[in-house]
């Protein structure tokens, strides 16, 4: 009936910004490889919602850079107000970012970084300091070994790496390798688990077949850790005891494993970038200057500080 249409319209008018004020945003997301990524996508969708006055064009690239490049070209064609890019790997962005720049469309890089010859090709970057995370993990391992009286030569590490060439992999791997050089640990094997649980499990299984001395598994994200834990258990090992497990992200399910003792240390990586990105974008649209690089603060979790309250409060 006419009156129903009328009231619906009013509700819509109250909830949604007027058509002219709607800000169109194109977001090229890496994929859906991990729980971290899912939380990140959700945070962006919640922030850049219709109710908040945005028209978000969300593109899932399924871990392929070529899909991201196509998405960015589509955003340019649709004349979006700005582009958000979570790049799968660091290199290979110069051409398409130049196209965005030529079209006068600001680009905000989210989560992982780009490695471009000219940094005016993007407006700003916000994300994690993956090298710092890796270094923190290496220092933690050294402290752990010292406290237990384990000699450096008795530390046999398997590194299940993230997507090769991504900022998160580059930094976390480098942090570990620096520790290996500094303390003289034995780095037994290194292979990518593509940041997924299935690949993490597969890689752990094959490493366990090849090497019988692995006593530390350095998982470059939580989903890989979940896969590795399954593989270790299937091989009759007790994760967290026979084999020390180090992981990154600190999602809720992983913190539960810290509490139960299956994961020894978690290095937090916060995926809830939506509100931070929106604040930055507002400043940029007003013509305000913003820093080129913005890091997000992050914590370390071990059994002592991973209380029930901490886990219950965890938003991801
Ligand atoms: O650690 C992992 C995700 O780039 C920081 O990507 C991000 C990483 C995160 O798939 O779980």
Q: How far is the CA of 128 from the centre of ligand 1 (A)?
A: 9
Give the pLDDT confidence of 44-54 residue by residue, as tens digits.
999 999 999 99
pLDDT band at 8 (very low <50, low <70, confident <90, very high): low
Q: What is the mean pLDDT of the chain?
A: 94
Give the pLDDT confidence of 164-182 residue by residue, as tens digits.
999 999 999 999 999 999 9
Q: How far is the CA of 193 from the centre of ligand 1 (A)?
A: 12
Q: How far is the CA of 222 from the centre of ligand 1 (A)?
A: 9
User: What is the per-residue pLDDT for 6?
Assistant: 52
From 249, 270, 296, give the residue whose CB has the most ligand 1 atoms within 8 Å, as the site to mutate.
249
Q: How far is the CA of 249 from the centre of ligand 1 (A)?
A: 7
CA distance 250 to 270: 8
pLDDT surpasses 60 at 11: no
User: What is the per-residue pLDDT for 9?
Assistant: 53
User: What is the per-residue pLDDT for 21?
Assistant: 87
pLDDT surpasses 50 at 2: no
pLDDT surpasses 90 at 144: yes
Atom of ligand 1 at shortest distance to CA of 166? 4
Give the pLDDT confidence of 38-87 residue by residue, as tens digits.
999 999 999 999 999 999 999 999 999 999 999 999 999 999 999 999 99
Q: How far is the CA of 221 from the centre of ligand 1 (A)?
A: 7
Rounded to an integer, the average pLDDT of 207-217 is 98
Atom of ligand 1 at shortest distance to CA of 249? 1
Ligand 1 pocket at CB < 6 A = 33-34, 36-37, 111-112, 128, 168, 195, 221, 248-249, 269
Q: How far is the CA of 104 from the centre of ligand 1 (A)?
A: 29
Instruction: State what percent of residues in the chain have pLDDT above 70.
Output: 94
Q: Whose CA is nearest to atom 8 of ligand 1?
A: 168
User: What is the per-residue pLDDT for 10?
Assistant: 52
Give the pLDDT confidence of 271-284 residue by residue, as tens digits.
999 999 999 999 99
pLDDT band at 19 (very low <50, low <70, confident <90, very high): low
Instruction: State what percent of residues in the chain have pLDDT above 90.
Output: 93
From 36, 172, 298, give the residue whose CB has the most ligand 1 atoms within 8 Å, as the site to mutate.
36
Q: How far is the CA of 36 from the centre of ligand 1 (A)?
A: 6
């Amino acid at each position: 009936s006419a009156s129903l249409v009328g009231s619906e319209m009013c509700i819509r008018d109250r909830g949604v910004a007027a058509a002219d004020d709607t800000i169109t945003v194109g977001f090229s997301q890496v994929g859906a490889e991990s729980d971290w990524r899912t939380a990140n996508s959700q945070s962006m969708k919640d922030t850049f919602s219709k109710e908040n006055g945005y028209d978000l064009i969300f593109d899932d690239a399924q871990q392929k850079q070529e899909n991201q490049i196509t998405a960015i070209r589509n955003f340019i064609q649709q004349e979006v107000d700005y582009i958000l890019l979570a790049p799968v790997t660091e290199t290979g962005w110069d051409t398409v970012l130049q196209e965005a720049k030529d079209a006068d469309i600001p680009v905000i890089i989210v989560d992982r970084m780009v490695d471009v010859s000219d940094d005016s090709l993007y407006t700003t970057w916000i994300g994690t300091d993956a090298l710092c995370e890796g270094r923190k993990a290496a220092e933690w391992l050294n402290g752990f070994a010292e406290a237990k009286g384990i000699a450096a030569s008795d530390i046999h590490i398997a590194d299940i790496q993230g997507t090769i060439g991504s900022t998160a992999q580059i930094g976390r791997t480098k942090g570990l390798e620096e520790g290996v050089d500094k303390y003289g640990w034995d780095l037994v094997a290194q292979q990518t688990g593509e940041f997924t649980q299935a690949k993490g499990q597969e890689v752990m299984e094959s490493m366990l077949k090849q090497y019988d001395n692995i006593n530390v598994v350095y998982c470059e994200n939580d989903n890989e850790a979940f896969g590795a834990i399954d593989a270790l258990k299937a091989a009759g090992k007790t994760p967290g005891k026979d084999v020390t497990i180090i992981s990154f992200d600190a999602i809720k399910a992983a913190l539960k494993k810290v509490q139960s003792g299956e994961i020894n240390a978690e290095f937090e990586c916060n995926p809830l970038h939506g509100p931070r990105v929106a604040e930055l974008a507002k400043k940029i649209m007003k013509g305000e200057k913003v820093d080129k690089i913005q890091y997000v603060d992050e914590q370390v979790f071990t059994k002592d500080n991973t209380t029930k309250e901490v886990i219950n409060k965890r938003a991801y």
